[in-house]
Chains A and B, each alone.
Chain A
Amino acid sequence: MSAPPLSGAVYDRGYRPYTGPRGGRREATWALWRLSVRRALGLRRSWRQKVFPWTLLAITTVPAVVNVGIGYAIRNDPLEIPDFAFITYREYVGVSTALLLFVALTAPDVVCPDRQQRVLPLLFSRPLTGSDYVTAKVGAIAAIVFGFGFLPQVVLFVGQMLVSDGALEYFTDNAEVLWQVPISVALLAVYYGAVGVALASLTDRRIVGGVAILGVALVTSVVAAIIIESAGDGGTPFAVLNVLALPLEVRDLVFLGHLSTDSDLSGVSGGGVLAVLAYLLVLTSSIAVLQHRYREVAL
């Protein structure tokens, strides 16, 4: 008589070697970038981690939706709401503090746990260097900020094109924003990403990192405002101390070719060059801080 079939048997499937393709530093950096983007957006995490980033995306899109909606409502009678000022593409770049809040929340979330939970030694036992780590982390935050800054602009552009009298005419009249918007949003995203991640890298506690980012933004803007106020109408080069405003000065250079007349640097000789230099100085300083923080990792 044959034995009855076994149920619940444990099968040892042994070990299968891997013979497929293997990547190097580039693939490892790309993998770390994907991991960081997923984490920042709350993907493969609980719903609570998803609420904040996606709410912020919704908030950044509100001005575009409102503008398009009003544009649609008054398409036949532009004088119906005479006081309504449509937002311009230039103003829409970095106009929302939601982007800053996003960086303050997510930049610490993608770097602090690596140090706090001692994941760094494990990461650096893979084919990654400190520079790769910095590239992946800054790249992840910058990419999301770019997405959150760029997608509402797309909504605004497409919406306004569709509600305009002539879509093709609107498109040709505003064709220059097709390069101005992505470039200025990219410059803003890289700046926010680098500064945010650099500040967050100085601590292993997320809450401290977030407060540091918001604190630096607040303190520098207040200090700059006091100096500007005391300098009078002529403007002052110390306006560059407002580090949060620097990418907006650079944005104006991209859109207008010169500083905006309402810029605090507009009265300063060589103000545009000064703004660009200050922007680059803050950016490179942030990268230098990051390179220093991740130059060597203890096991």
Chain B
Amino acid sequence: MQQAPSPLVLRTDQLTKSYAGGPPALAGLSLAVPAGSVGLVGANGAGKTTLFRLMLGLMQPTSGRIEVAGRDVATDPVGIRGRLGYMPEHDCLPLDQTASDIVATFGELAGLPVRAARQRASDVLDLVGLDEARFRPVGGFSTGMRQRTKLAQALVADPHLVLLDEPTAGLDPLGREEMLDLVARLAGFGISVILATHLLDDVQRVCEHVVMIDRGHLVLAGPIDQLMQTTGQLRVEVGGRPDAVAVLADALAGRGLSARPLDDHSLDVDTRDQGDAAADTVRDAVADLGLRLYALSTRHRSLDDVFLQQASR
């Protein structure tokens, strides 16, 4: 049975936004972003924040069309905001209020009744690990706790979609891991995520899809699994003699495989001519030369590879 395609959380058609006296922040951007966890990747000035503002209906596009969760932003910008959660990158919390009051207030501002907002605030603060600190003013919170409070306010009204702008910014390694764990769990709750960041590792870790933009133009978009497909190379690490890499490369050339030495112990072997049989050829060549085989693995591309490849075009 054919699986139904997942609904789109964002669709743009020739979306352009220009500011006076400058190049367009978005230039004819056409996207179809499915539900789930999506990484929106781009350097500073790529157009990520402009795209968020257009999604939230806080400004009008110069031309083109944008739909969020199947609804045209131009016709119902305020209604759309009722089902979106937004976590800004910068500090944005009233410092003299408690986490509980802040999150409950933003629940009410999203249209929840007072009692429901209080209950939801308690639940989501529990979820983000702030259950014991929720009655303290956020002015005394660490950066990690403030980030969690920001995430909690984005989740309090049970949105269809949350827009997270650099959620790991300023966090120490442990705080970053915990934040990414939380973000990774959201898809399991039925909440789609668009994670804007310039940290490719974060996207690779928690997202299923990625959208890369650069200076308002779409660089690439697609499932991360497909983008990180195998490179057609084997990474081989050998030892046993000082010139092990060189003699192995010569031996492989004689067996129809080209190899590229990386350092004194490792080399990449191009497998595209032989496919899966290349691994057997490498193994046999190592055995015949009496070398020690430390590692033999298929090399996958990372998002960094993909980004650098696209950027170099």
List residues of A whose CB falls within 8 A of some B CB: 13-18, 20-25, 27-28, 31-32, 34-35, 44-45, 113-114, 117-119, 121-129, 296-299
Contacts and interface: CB of A to CB of B under 8 A. Distances in A.
A123 B111 CA distance: 12
Nearest to A17: B158
Nearest to B127: A15
B123 A122 contact: no
Nearest to A128: B109
B112 A22 contact: yes
A24 B78 contact: yes
A18 B112 contact: yes
A127 B92 contact: no
B49 interface: yes
Given A14-B127, A299-B165, 5 more contacts: A117-B92, A122-B86, A122-B153, A125-B85, A129-B78
Contact of A24 (B53, B82, B126, B189): B82
B86 A28 contact: no
Contacts of A16: 123
A126 B112 contact: no
B111 A121 contact: no
Contact of A45 (B93, B96, B113, B158): B96
Given A17-B158, A17-B189, A127-B79, A117 B112 contact: no
A15 B162 CA distance: 15
Contacts of A15: 123, 127, 185, 188-189
A69 to B, nearest CB: 39
Nearest to A22: B111
Nearest to B85: A125
Interface residues of B, number: 44
A145 to B, nearest CB: 23
Contacts of B153: 122
B199 to A, nearest CB: 19
Given A296-B59, A299-B49, A127 B78 contact: yes
Interface in B93-127: 93-97, 101, 105-106, 108-113, 116, 120, 123, 126-127
B222 interface: no
Given A28-B109, A31-B108, A126-B110, A119 B92 contact: yes
A96 to B, nearest CB: 29
A121 B81 CA distance: 12
Given A44-B101, A45-B96, A128-B78, A18 B158 contact: yes
Nearest to B108: A31
A28 B111 contact: yes
A42 to B, nearest CB: 11
B106 A122 contact: yes
A22 B82 contact: yes
Contacts of A113: 94, 96
Contacts of B92: 117-119, 121-122
A118 B93 CA distance: 7
B242 to A, nearest CB: 54
A25 to B, nearest CB: 6
A260 to B, nearest CB: 44
Nearest to A26: B111
Contact of B78 (A21, A25, A35, A119): A25
Given A17-B190, A299-B52, A122 B88 contact: yes
B222 to A, nearest CB: 27
28 contacts: A13-B126, A15-B188, A15-B189, A17-B158, A18-B120, A22-B82, A24-B78, A25-B78, A27-B108, A28-B110, A31-B108, A44-B97, A45-B96, A113-B96, A117-B91, A117-B93, A119-B92, A124-B58, A125-B58, A125-B81, A126-B81, A126-B82, A127-B78, A127-B79, A127-B110, A128-B78, A129-B78, A299-B165
Given A31-B109, A299-B53, A13 B123 contact: yes
Interface string B141-163: 00000000000010001100000
A17 B119 CA distance: 12
Interface centre among A22, A119, A125, A297 (most CB of B within 10 A): A125
B90 interface: yes
B91 to A, nearest CB: 6
B84 interface: yes
B148 to A, nearest CB: 15
